[in-house]
Structure 1
Amino acid sequence: METSGKSRGTASRFVPEWTTRRWLLTGTSLALVVLLGLSLCGAWVFARSTAINNRLVDRSSPALIASVQLESALINQETGIRGYGITGRSEFLDPYREGTARQRAAVRQLRLLGGGDPVAARDLAAVDDRAQRWRTLIADPVATSADPIPTARQRAEEGRELFDSLRKAVSAQQEHLRAERNKARADLQGARAFRNWTFSAMALVILALAGLVFVGLRRGVTAHLDRLSLDVRKVAAGDFAHPVSGSGPVDLRMLAADVEFMRTRLAAELSVSESAQAALTTQTEELRRSNSELEQFAYVASHDLQEPLRKVASFCQLLERRYAENLDDRARQYIAFAVDGANRMQGLINDLLSFSRVGRLLTDYVDVDMNELFDRTVDSLGMAVEESGAVVTHDPLPVLRGERTQLGMLLQNLIGNAVKFRSPDRTPLIHLGVRQVAGAWEFAVTDNGIGIAPEFADRVFVIFQRLHTREQYAGNGIGLALCRKIVEHHGGTVTVDPAHSPGTRVVFTLTDTTGAAPQVPAQGQGALPRARRP
């Protein structure tokens, strides 16, 4: 066991902990080296084939053609000299002279195409020497003789021997050139065959390299990524208890470890969340039960608590009427105090019930035409508006989704406060403005009354908070608190603009759930001032 464990430890030390990037870099470098070697090999094969082809096209074949042209030029010379020697006519010297010029050109070309080949140089030297000897001993004496016929006859046998020797030299030269050309052709065919085999082998090597790259990526990277993705998808599908295991390169294993750590954290958070959800569900049930009990209490308060107050007020008033002759002014004042206290207590209970119902009694939201609701609210406040001489106006108002009754209470409290807290030295001017903001409608009830000091801008929305005595202004200090609860129940906010002067400007927002634009009233309605004067 110790031996096997030691061997495993030794082997593990020789296994490199490479990352995916290192594996890819190494594999890419090796592939580039192989491709570079193949490219160099292909370039060498192509260069070799091109060189052999150039030797055949540019040297062997042109040299053979030049040799044939040289032979033709020599034959033309011999034919011209023989004709001149037989007939003595000078026109037979034209082929001789032309052949001589063509011979010089062919010799120059053969020297250029020889390229340092000793065999070609030797053959050309032999042909040139024998041609020069034939010309010196036979052609030139006949061509320069005044009577060429006897000279030609005298040297005919020697000339035939010399020209046959020249023919043999030219034939030997051509045989060597044909052999060189055939050898170049064979080399070219061999080079082409070698080139085809080489490029085929290169294609096979490239295919094998591509296969090795694919297999290497598959076994070294993508297979491990697939396993990791499968584990992650199982966890994402909701199996948070499924472990995420890693394999392959070190960075993939580190990634799997990070995902596994995240899974354990999420599983722990989910367990805590489920526990909190269960506790929240229990609390919701308790809250629902408590709300039910509060509804029952509200019902009792609205009936059982108000009944004694009605009795107190009724019997005090009955006492005042029946024993009016026996009561003095102080007794009548005490009875008035008792009746007023009972009435105020009853009003306070009703206000508390209205405040508690906001957001507790679930009613369906409906489309509320704020123009119509404004008209109804002002009509309900008609007596106070007429007594104060107030001028009440509004902008074209939108259609909103909400609880009609609560929105009516909202407008009634705000407009009623504007009428109540008017300034005695100027005509009350009350205006309901509206503008559309991001996802909501912003309303503003503006008046020119006594105003609210900035330090009391937040205090006025607290229940039972009053800034004046009951002798100055009647009320229970619950109106603006009720307005705030109604606005927040409809998803908005309400504030007092401290910068507005003179008077008060209450700004509140209501969520826009219909997208309806403000409705411009018909002629003679809505935006025209509504004023009731005595």
Structure 2
Amino acid sequence: MATDRTPTPSRSPLANWTTRRWLRVGVTVSLAVLAVLGGVGVWTLSRAATITDELVNRRSPALNSAVRLETALVNQETGIRGYGLSGEEVFLQPYREGLTQEKAAVGELRRLLPDTGRERGDLGTVLAKAEAWQGDIAKPVAAAPPGDAVPQAAQRAADGKAAFDALRAAMDAQQDHLLQARVAAVDDLDGATRLRDGVLATIAVLIVLLAALVFEGLRRGITVPLARLGADARQVAGGTFTHEVAATGPADLRRLGDDVDAMRRRLLDELAFTERARRQLDEQAAELRRSNSELEQFAYVASHDLQEPLRKVSSFTQLLQRRYAGQLDARADQYIGFAVDGANRMQVLINDLLNFSRVGRVHNEHRAVDLGTVVDQTVDALSVAIEESGTTVVHDPLPTIVGDTTQLGILWQNLISNAVKFRHPDRTPEIRIEAAREGERWRFAVSDNGIGIAPEFAEKVFVIFQRLHTKEAYPGSGIGLAMCKKIVEFHGGTITIDPDHSPGTRFVFTLAAGKPAEPEAEAVAETSAAGAGRAGARS
């Protein structure tokens, strides 16, 4: 009996999610988290790159340009001072180079510094003081002839020193501010680097945690339920059909578990039905064995107890017929003839029934049988009827198969004798036997040109005691073809009538093409058959 299923408790809405939906949601959430983490990582990297670009491409070059501007102005002051002290024009060379250097440094600063702010204001202050010093001191002294340059420089020495000191102070302030901005940029870069490293480390940790969550989710949601379902299925497959298959996990896996459990319950029901059927078959087999035993007893009685009084009846009626023939009236002779004929037919019928009952029971020795030899022996046994009727018998080369020699001899004797018996009066009887291999079987055909069998009687002729003609027209008990059918089926084949054959009848039957039994097996079969025969004789 199938086990009762416990009622399923109410489940949350998430319990109705299938594996596909869990995977879809899990992948979506994972991608969203990875997208956020990626965005944060890109932002930190971009910020660090921006600060690095600010420091490398603006702050540091601006400070360097301010230093070069200071150097250029100092060179100018040195050149003017030397020219004013000596009056030699060679000292104006540093002044002119300083002008060129000043122009390049100012252009670089203007490119690097923002348009507004303290750095741009410092640049303006430096340039204003430089222009004031150059306009009041440097340009007049440099433009004076060598002879006038010295007195003029001496006359303006105090003013020149004060103006250049003011310029130097402005440049120092500018450089201090640029240096502070560079230090601040370095601090920002350090902070951005630490933030980047922290964010990347956090992203790595979150990715590891996400991977762990995904793995654990797959393990709990898919791997473990599938493993449990597989274990339950293997336990059921091992023969424990009462073991209930647990349904866990997502909705589709639970449905799969329920289907497997339903299949288990169906198998359990089928096994219970099969067990009941087996018990019934055992009972029927026991009844069949009992019935066969009774039939064997009946066969023994028929072959011994019934044969003896039948022989007495037949003998005395024949004796009456011989002794009093012609001494009584015609009606008495007719009655005695009826009695003799009935006794003879009864004896033939009993012998045929005994032969029919022995098929598969008494004659059951499977060994290699040369069918060509069997057919030749059958033709020799029927040689008188064959010669009297003028029948021609031809056959293909016949194989050797595994079967019972006696039964196969009866098979061929019935088929050939029927072909001779039911010959057509207007045709010379011809019998042809064909054989062909079809896989694991041999296919045989016995054809004649006799009176034939109507298609509607193709099945009826194989039923015991079924006759198509009266005993006066064709003698016989109606058991021959039924015995042929029983012999063929005992050897694992089938027998039919070819409805398309004309004229006459064509019987088609198959026999298994087995291997000959081993000598030991044949000896055991012979011993068993002999024992069965002795037991039947003693019963």
TM beyond 0.5 = yes
Residue 124 of structure 2 aligns with an amino acid whose one-letter code is: A
Structure 2 residue aligned with 1:458: 459
Q: Distance in 1 between matches of 2:48 and 2:458?
A: 99
CA apart distance, 1:385: 4.6
Structure 2 residue aligned with 1:114: 113
Quick one: percent identity of the two aligned structures? 54
Structure 2 residue aligned with 1:447: 448
Matches within 5 A, 1:90-101: 93=93, 100-101=99-100
Structure 1 residue aligned with 2:152: 154
Greater Cα shift, 149-158 or 340-349: 149-158
Structure 1 residue aligned with 2:536: none
Give the 3 Å change call, closer, same or farther, for CA 104–405 of structure 1 in structure 2. Answer: farther
Unaligned runs of 5+ in 2: 1-8, 517-539
Matches within 5 A, 1:443-522: 443-511=444-512
Matches within 5 A, 1:137-176: 137=136, 147-148=145-146, 150-151=148-149, 154-155=152-153, 157=157, 165-176=166-177
Contact 1:431 1:447 in 2 (8 A): no
Structure 2 residue aligned with 1:356: 357
Contact 1:82 1:152 in 2 (8 A): no
Give the 3 Å change call, closer, same or farther, for CA 309–66 of structure 1 in structure 2. Answer: farther
Residue 117 of structure 2 aligns with an amino acid whose one-letter code is: P
Give the 3 Å change call, closer, same or farther, for CA 142–379 of structure 1 in structure 2. Answer: farther
What TM-score, normalized by structure 1, do the two folds share? 0.75
1:223-270 deviations in Å (ceiling 9; x for gaps): 666666666655554445555666777777777666666655654554
Structure 2 residue aligned with 1:524: none
Contact 1:17 1:250 in 2 (8 A): no
Contact 1:61 1:181 in 2 (8 A): yes
Structure 2 residue aligned with 1:182: 183
Give the 3 Å change call, closer, same or farther, for CA 210–320 of structure 1 in structure 2. Answer: same
Give the 3 Å change call, closer, same or farther, for CA 478–102 of structure 1 in structure 2. Answer: farther
Residue 128 of structure 1 aligns with an amino acid whose one-letter code is: L
Contact 2:141 2:152 in 1 (8 A): no
SS of match in other structure, 1:484: helix
1:344-398 deviations in Å (ceiling 9; x for gaps): 333322322232233455846445555555555555545555553424122x555
Unaligned runs of 5+ in 1: 1-11, 516-534
SS of match in other structure, 1:444: strand
Structure 2 residue aligned with 1:8: none
Structure 2 residue aligned with 1:44: 43
SS of match in other structure, 2:15: coil
Q: Distance in 2 between matches of 1:64 and 1:401?
A: 114
CA apart distance, 1:288: 0.9
Residue 507 of structure 1 aligns with an amino acid whose one-letter code is: V
Give the 3 Å change call, closer, same or farther, for CA 87–386 of structure 1 in structure 2. Answer: farther
Q: Distance in 2 between matches of 1:313 and 1:386?
A: 31
Structure 1 residue aligned with 2:291: 290
Matches within 5 A, 1:325-344: 338-344=339-345
Contact 1:142 1:148 in 2 (8 A): no
SS of match in other structure, 1:477: coil
Structure 1 residue aligned with 2:395: 393
Contact 2:391 2:420 in 1 (8 A): no
Residue 354 of structure 2 aligns with an amino acid whose one-letter code is: L
Q: Distance in 2 between matches of 1:297 and 1:199?
A: 101
SS of match in other structure, 1:473: coil
Residue 353 of structure 2 aligns with an amino acid whose one-letter code is: L
SS of match in other structure, 1:475: coil
Q: Distance in 1 between matches of 2:504 and 2:34?
A: 88
CA apart distance, 1:169: 4.2
Matches within 5 A, 1:14-413: 16=13, 18-21=15-18, 30-71=29-70, 74=73, 87-88=88-89, 93=93, 100-101=99-100, 103-116=102-115, 118-137=117-136, 147-148=145-146, 150-151=148-149, 154-155=152-153, 157=157, 165-213=166-214, 235-242=236-243, 266-317=267-318, 338-360=339-361, 363=364, 365-368=366-369, 370=371, 373-387=374-388, 388-394=390-396, 400-413=401-414
Give the 3 Å change call, closer, same or farther, for CA 118–477 of structure 1 in structure 2. Answer: same
CA apart distance, 1:125: 2.5
Q: Distance in 2 between matches of 1:103 and 1:369?
A: 128
CA apart distance, 1:41: 2.6
Q: Distance in 1 between matches of 2:507 and 2:404?
A: 20
CA apart distance, 1:291: 0.8
